[in-house]
Amino acid sequence: MIKVRFAPSPTGVPHIGNTRTALFNYLFARHNKGKFILRIEDTDKARFVRQAEEAIIEIMSWLDLEFDEKYVQSERLKVYKEHAEILKGKKIVYEDEGALKFRMPKTGETFWQDGVGNKKIVFKNDTQEDFVVIKSDGYPTYNFANVVDDYLMKITHIIRGEEFISSTPKHVQLYRAFSWEQPIFVHLPIILGVDKSKLSKRHGAKSVLNYQEDGYLKETLLNYMALLGWNPGGDKEQMSLDEMIKLFDLKDINTANPIFDSKKLEWLNGVWIRTIGDLKERLVNFYSLDKDILSMLNSANADITINASRSRMKTLKDFKNLIDTKRERELTKEEKIMAGDLLEFLENKLKNTWQDEKLLELLKEFSSKEKVPFKIIYFFMTGKKQGIGILELNQIYGKEFFVKNLKN
């Protein structure tokens, strides 16, 4: 049975690059009807952050990346000590100032066939140094606990970032020292920023939870993360989690480093906002602490407002700006004269009934006759440079809203 793991260290909240690793493991497990486990690797006590594990669980839960088993390494210290003693008995580890070190071979090569690109990766053993397996405080190092757990938990494929390639010779030699069957190593290409350097905060890389706070949908984040280094073929870019599970195959992981493009992420979020059927529910949840917006979302005009906003939204945060009726600025003296002319024109033509199609027809007539760009007319009518369409605003707020703005 295929079995994979996501093994984050709780030294901080994972950014989108780390979460992509969790997603690829999840997709591979579910595609192959295998198991996906979460293992919290908390043996580095000096860098441990208490809230990080909670954030990791929250990310997994929000993205619907359900794990089948969960382990915490600090609860397994006895296991690591027992296995260190096995190697000590074989004289493969030795004591050094209170710690136990693994004796790396100094001749020959260490190699493996990587799951990305099916390429053979080779290290000369004379370039490798001995390394600590059990620290003087009794805790195992990452390299040692990682291998022991992967074997005992029957992990078949180790899917992780390319930055772990340099550690893999240590892991391969540990498998050989225990006479254990080696799993398949799959090293994902590192995500780069638009300047081709390693992805960091300055490129917009944040935690999935930060993107959630900024009004991004989980469907968008899952979709976009999957496309960072994986392409199932064809030009389809919008895919649900279920679709990605059906299509996912390790052979489709690119060897080239993907570029994180925050603009494309924003574009894709707009696509998903226009697609989902429960936008109202998402907005209610997102604005749960904003009484004014919640009141509007529960009003009789809620559906009209949401539908009018949907095509103009890139994030859920945009909704507040779109429905805000406050003027962006006051009109200048010249603008007031022109707005007054527009109001007089409309009242003479429309009398008491501001019907949708007739209103739009007259606004276009005024624009053509007076040589006033429609975007200027929109500003006069709404007090904003852009937002919900005139017809929708007429349905929601009616004549009084426009008259108030034209009178400034």
Q: Tell me the residue ranges of DSSP E strands in 98-156.
A: 99-102, 109-113, 120-124, 131-134
Span 3-25, average pLDDT: 94
58, with CB counted inside 10 A (0-12, 13-18, 19+), is: middle
How high is the pLDDT of residue 391? Answer: 86
Mean pLDDT of the chain: 93
Span 188-202, average pLDDT: 85
Long-range pairs for 230-234 at CB < 8 Å and ≥24 separation?
A: 230/24, 230/254
Angle 252-258-259 (CA atoms, 0-180°, nearest 5)? 150
- Residue 226's nearest CA partner among 263, 258, 187 is 258
175 within 8 A of 181, measured Cβ to Cβ = yes
The contacts of residue 50 (CB under 8 Å, 6+ apart) are 10
- Residue 135's nearest CA partner among 95, 88, 181, 194 is 95
The CATH superfamily assigned to 76-188 is HUPs (3.40.50.620)
- Residue 132's nearest CA partner among 103, 165, 109, 91 is 103
256, with CB counted inside 10 A (0-12, 13-18, 19+), is: exposed
* 340, pLDDT greater than 80: yes
71 within 8 A of 37, measured Cβ to Cβ = yes
Tokens of 149: 């757990």
Strand order in the sheet with 69-72: 3-6, 35-40, 69-72
204 within 8 A of 260, measured Cβ to Cβ = yes
Condensed to tens digits (0 to 9), the pLDDT of residues 106-153 reads 999 999 999 999 999 999 999 999 999 999 999 999 999 999 999 999
> HSE-up of 261 (CA within 13 Å, CB side)?
11
- The CA distance from 301 to 364, in Å, is 26
Condensed to tens digits (0 to 9), the pLDDT of residues 166-193 reads 999 999 999 999 999 999 999 999 999 8
Q: What is the DSSP string of 203-263?
A: GT--BHHHHHHTT--HHHHHHHHHHSSB--SSS-----HHHHHHH--GGGB-SSPPBP-HH
Tokens of 80: 């690591």
- Categorize the per-residue pLDDT at 298 as very low, low, confident or very high, splitting at 50, 70 and 90: very high
Span 205-230, average pLDDT: 95
- The CA distance from 77 to 97, in Å, is 20
Task: Give the 3-state secondary structure of residue 89.
Answer: helix
CA 355, distance to chain mean position in Å, is 44
How high is the pLDDT of residue 204? Answer: 66
- Categorize the per-residue pLDDT at 196 as very low, low, confident or very high, splitting at 50, 70 and 90: confident
Residue 313, phi then psi, degrees to nearest 5: -95, 135
- Categorize the per-residue pLDDT at 159 as very low, low, confident or very high, splitting at 50, 70 and 90: very high
170 within 8 A of 128, measured Cβ to Cβ = yes
Neighbours of 398 (CB within 10 A): 11
Q: Which of 61-65, 227-231, 393-397 has the lowest mean pLDDT?
A: 393-397
Higher pLDDT residue, 305 or 204?
Answer: 305
- Categorize the per-residue pLDDT at 357 as very low, low, confident or very high, splitting at 50, 70 and 90: confident
- The CA distance from 297 to 281, in Å, is 9
Condensed to tens digits (0 to 9), the pLDDT of residues 237-270 reads 999 999 999 999 999 999 999 999 999 999 999 9
Q: What is the DSSP string of 159-218?
A: EEEGGGGGGHHHHHHHHHHHTPPP-EEEEEPPPB-TTSSBP-GGGT--BHHHHHHTT--H
How high is the pLDDT of residue 351? Answer: 74
Tokens of 143: 């390299």
DSSP state of 32: T
Q: What share of the chain has pLDDT > 70, as a percent?
A: 99
Tokens of 177: 């020292």
The amino acid at 92: I
DSSP state of 87: H
Condensed to tens digits (0 to 9), the pLDDT of residues 320-331 reads 999 888 888 898
The CATH superfamily assigned to 3-73+190-262 is HUPs (3.40.50.620)
- The CA distance from 126 to 242, in Å, is 47
Condensed to tens digits (0 to 9), the pLDDT of residues 40-78 reads 999 988 888 889 999 999 999 999 999 999 999 999 999
CA 192, distance to chain mean position in Å, is 15
